[in-house]
Amino acid sequence: MANIPANSATGRRKTAVARVRLIAGTGKIEVNGRPFEEYFPTVGLQNTVLAPLTLTNLVNAYDVAVNTNGGGVNGQAGAVRLGIARALLQVDANLRPALKAEGYLTRDPRMKERKKSGQPGARKRFQFSKR
């Protein structure tokens, strides 16, 4: 962990984890070695990923390299959004009020509840029989 550049950050959502690196460049975004338009095929997911950059008008200022795993595509998109927002803070701390107001610095803590032993699911119980 000694050679991590200052403009890198980690984002998490559900069980997804995204490690994000910002490099001064032309706005190219790569997720797991693939263009982000290919990795996140729907416009909604692409907008989720781009949200912190569009809010701060830095879409074409940085190249973003993302390594993500765990969860599904929605969770990964949320994790990438948080990672990008945190990395932007390391680049320029003056962006904090705008990012915070939109909720891009808040980690979404909702995770699937674990199944309890002796029961069929997290909350579901076996049918009660009085006799």
- Number of domains the chain is built from: 1
Q: What is the CATH number of the domain that holds 31?
A: 3.30.230.10
- Confirm whether 32 is domain-assigned: yes
Torsion of CA 13, 32, 48, 99, to 10 degrees: 70
**pLDDT tens-digit readout, 32-66:** 999 999 999 999 999 999 999 999 999 898 999 99
Q: How far apart are CA 100 and CA 119, in angstroms?
A: 41
Global pTM value: 0.87
- Confirm whether 118 is domain-assigned: no
